[in-house]
Structure 1
Amino acid sequence: MATNKIYIKNMVCDRCKRVVAEELQKLGYTVLQVGLGEAELATDDPEVNMEQLREVLESNGFELLDDRRTQLIEKVKLAIIELVHQTGEQELHINTSDYIADKLGLEYNYISSLFSSFEGITIEKYLILQRIERVKELLVYDELSLKEIAYKLGYSSVAHLSNQFKKVTGLTPSHFKQVKSEKRKTLDKVQD
């Protein structure tokens, strides 16, 4: 069966997938699958009205992606978010460049160059920012020790995590935990 695939920016959670699926169904499309950053529609549906779709998605805080390079950048971001938030698996003790290249089926150097030129930061910096947001989240939950958080997120030591955290936020993890004044960001706004 042939399908129409659409790519959507700012889909970073299961609730996002549910909202997109519901909105597409309201528009009369048969939704075959919704994943992070994309939705698959049945081709026997009427022609996809891109302007109508764009309007509905934007009213819900999403953005329809038309350009292939923009779609690739979004896939990189989603792969990193998925990597940082996976639990119970290999944690972050894998080679990030290999993970991204395998996930996208492209050479990492090409992906990295494209990402940097579009986003103005490197993939590595984006990964660090995502990891720090995850550290903030885990600190607020207060279920894991700093040592457990460091291991879970692939840091070589608590000192490494603490130094990186302070460099990004200006606070030590323990100070952040005490004051919680540094508000967490939504995952799609991490680099802003």
Structure 2
Amino acid sequence: MKLYIKNMVCIRCQMVVKAELKKIGLPYTYVKIGEADIIGNVEREQLKQLGLALRKTGLLLMDDKKSILVEKVKSAIIELVHYTEEQIKVNLSDYLSEKLNYDYTYLANLFSEVKGITIEKYYLTHKIEKVKELIVYDELNLSEIAYKMHYSSVAHLSNQFKKYTGLTPTHFKMLKNKRRDTLEDV
């Protein structure tokens, strides 16, 4: 039985779900972003108990088909942006259609209806958040970040970053450095 879980966006969330499943005594084949595959039948009381435990951590069990599909779109985008190094060989619409076995127009309309933003905007917002993370880590220069995040150029990255944040990547980096004081200066 597959369970679909809302707000499950990171490895830590997966660990929480695994721990709760173990606590309740529900064996599973896998737990990944947005879903868990449970072995065998789940009793109503176990499902209720799991739902309550997950809710305490900000995660929600879902049973509405439209919400589940929207979560699958979100999970696919999060996985693509945050956990995959390779660039997709097709455009985002084809990637999502292929991965989820739905027509992209249907996915896009449903996503916009439920989330209030387009899939493209959601995707770009996640890309910019990943760029911010990479800037803060300060391990890569902007050219390397642009390459890693599959931008055609540093200029393209900078323009999109400014459009979404109001700041250039360089200005964002300077602000990051200004926000932190060394312990000796406090």
Is the structural similarity TM-score above 0.5?
yes
Over the matched positions of the two proteins, sequence identity in percent amounts to: 55
The answer to whether the 8 Å contact 1:30/1:45 transfers is no
The answer to whether the 8 Å contact 1:138/1:149 transfers is yes
Quote how far apart the aligned CAs of 1:93 are: 5.9
CA distance in 1, matches of 2:104, 2:55: 31
Mark the CA change 1:86 to 1:24 in structure 2 (over 3 Å): closer, same or farther: closer
Corresponding residue number in structure 1 for 2:64: 67
The answer to whether the 8 Å contact 1:84/1:134 transfers is yes
**Structure 2: unaligned runs, 5 residues or longer:** 180-186
Corresponding residue number in structure 1 for 2:183: none
Quote how far apart the aligned CAs of 1:25 are: 1.1
User: Deviations for 1:9-53, whole angstroms, at most 9, x for unmatched residues?
Assistant: 111122211110110110121122111111111215544633322
Corresponding residue number in structure 2 for 1:9: 6
User: Deviations for 1:91-136, whole angstroms, at most 9, x for unmatched residues?
Assistant: 2564111111111011111101100111111000001100000000
Report which structure shows greater RCO (CA 8 Å, sep ≥6).
1
What RMSD, in angstroms, separates the aligned Cα atoms of the two structures?
1.8
Is structure 2 residue 57 aligned with structure 1 residue 57? no
Rg larger for: 2
**Structure 1: unaligned runs, 5 residues or longer:** 184-192
Mark the CA change 1:137 to 1:92 in structure 2 (over 3 Å): closer, same or farther: farther
Quote how far apart the aligned CAs of 1:149 are: 1.1
Question: Secondary structure of 2:164's match?
Answer: helix
The answer to whether the 8 Å contact 2:24/2:46 transfers is no
Question: Secondary structure of 2:3's match?
Answer: strand
